[in-house]
Every structure is written in structure tokens, then in C-alpha cells.
Amino acid sequence: MEIDILTIFPGMFSGVMSESILGRAQEKGILTVRVHDIRDFAAGKHRVVDDYPFGGGPGMVMKPEPIAAAVHHALECRESAESGESRVILTTPAGRPFTQDVAKEFAACEHLVILCGHYEGIDERVATLVTEEISIGDYVLTGGELPAMVIVDAAARLLPDALGDEASAAGDSFWDGLLDYPHYTRPRQWRELEVPEVLISGDHEKIRQWRRARSLERTQRRRPDLLAKAELSAEDLEILRTLAP
């Protein structure tokens, strides 16, 4: 998988993209991340990437010319010879909500170009270059750099061989529409709190049932809205009936 990130603050990505799972995925050759400075594609001595908005108002707007040049450059950087399309993503509060399903969708792509907005936004005409717009939540951030990091991390960890244990991703929260079950490790007793007996019983079926019940219970208590969209089995529905107040 190849990902090109377009930003005016490339330094924000140096640590994030080189550590942990993202760093290991690149070392293994299953992920390539390239970060491009949009200012490098701006004309003039001062490499200006923003200007005052037409119609007046506060703030500055990112100019279309350097962004278009950066997008075209990123598309040309693609190394894979596969036939899959490149998808150009703009991070914006107006975009489609980013979910685990969208992360799975992106993980199946061969090439992503992520455009990070800044200031008051990007010239609307740039939308003609964008495949889709993505929002990571209903709040305002300083720029699109943090959303880009979230998208890359969520998608890359789903790549084959990105994780040490492939089952780890399948057990994550939101993988099947539910929150994850509680986790425990050594010591067995900590501050008078004990690890649930079932987890040290050695009975794998009882452990599976306990974990599924705790996942459903946690989702029902903390995010009941997720249950309405989750695909539940007959066993799940029976567990929920026993959990009902």
C-alpha cells in the first residue's frame, strides 16, 4: 500500500510515521508513506500557499494552484504497477464520517493521496481533484494533519502482516460493530482487585463466551447506538436478554 500525504507542515509526521506499527510496516515493505510539502509546489520567491477570501471575512484560504500541482505530483509518485485506482482524500469537517468500515475500505486500496487542509479551508474548486472528503469527528482542529495521521494508522494496521498477531485487529473495538471486551494481565491481584476467575480457568469456550458477553454488556452500557447497527447472532441476542435490566 502506498500513501502520499500533502501538507504545509510535513514535520508533524516524522515521528508518527516512523514509530510502532507504522514504522514496522514500512520496514517490512508492506506500506510506503511519502510526505510532501505543498509549499514546494507554490510559485514565487516566498512560496505563498494562501490568500484572502473573495467576499471578505476572517482568515485565509489555501490557493488551488499549489494544491493541484502537489496532487498531480503525488499521483505520479505511485510505484505500484497494479491497475487499482488512486484515491484522493480531503480531510474536512464536511466529509463522510470516518469509521472502522471506512478504514477497511481504505486498507484495500493500493494508493491513497491525503490532502490536509488548513487555515479557513481550501479553495472550493480543488474539489474537482478529490475522490472523497473524510471527517474524523464533529469538532474543529487546527488543520488536517491529525486526521491524516488517524486515517493512515487505522488503515495501515489492517494490512496483512502489519500486526504481530493477525487476530489482534479482529478483536478490536468496532471491528464487528461492538466495543472490545475488558483485558487483564499479570499480576492476578492488584490493589485488592482480582482477575476474573474464568480467564485463568483454561476453558477456552467459557472464556470466549465471557468475552462476548462483556463486549455486549460494555456496548449496551456505553454505546447503545452501536447495537442498533451491529450484526448480532442468536447467541448475542440471548446474552442481551440476560443483560436487560
Tell me whether the omega of the peptide bond preceding residue 93 falls within 30 degrees of 0, making it cis: no
User: Is 172 a residue of the active site?
Assistant: yes
> Helix 204-222 to helix 234-243 angle, to the nearest 10 degrees?
60
Q: Which sequence spans correspond to the domains of the chain?
A: 2-156, 171-243
pLDDT of residue 169: 53
Kindly name the residue from 40, 120, 180, 217 that is annotated as catalytic: 120
Residue 172 has pLDDT above 70, yes or no: no
User: Is 203 a residue of the active site?
Assistant: no
- Global pTM reads 0.87
Q: How far apart are CA 70 and CA 41, in angstroms?
A: 6
The CATH number of the structural domain formed by 2-156 is: 3.40.1280.10
CB-facing half-sphere around the CA of 61: CA atoms within 13 A: 15
Note the pLDDT tens digit of each residue in 82-109. Answer: 668 899 999 998 899 999 999 999 999 9
pLDDT of residue 167: 53
Residue of 36, 35, 33 whose CA lies nearest to 69: 36
Note the pLDDT tens digit of each residue in 222-243. Answer: 999 999 889 999 999 999 999 8
pLDDT of residue 164: 64
User: Is 120 a residue of the active site?
Assistant: yes
What confidence tier does 44 reach under pLDDT thresholds 50, 70, 90? confident
Kindly name the residue from 133, 172, 176, 180 that is annotated as catalytic: 172
Kindly name the residue from 93, 123, 176, 218 that is annotated as catalytic: 93
Residue 189 has pLDDT above 80, yes or no: yes
User: Is 176 a residue of the active site?
Assistant: no
Residue 119 has pLDDT above 70, yes or no: yes
pLDDT of residue 170: 53
Tell which CATH classification among 1.10.1270.20, 1.10.540.10, 3.40.50.720, 3.40.640.10 matches the domain 171-243.
1.10.1270.20
Locus of grid cell 510539502: 37
What confidence tier does 177 reach under pLDDT thresholds 50, 70, 90? confident
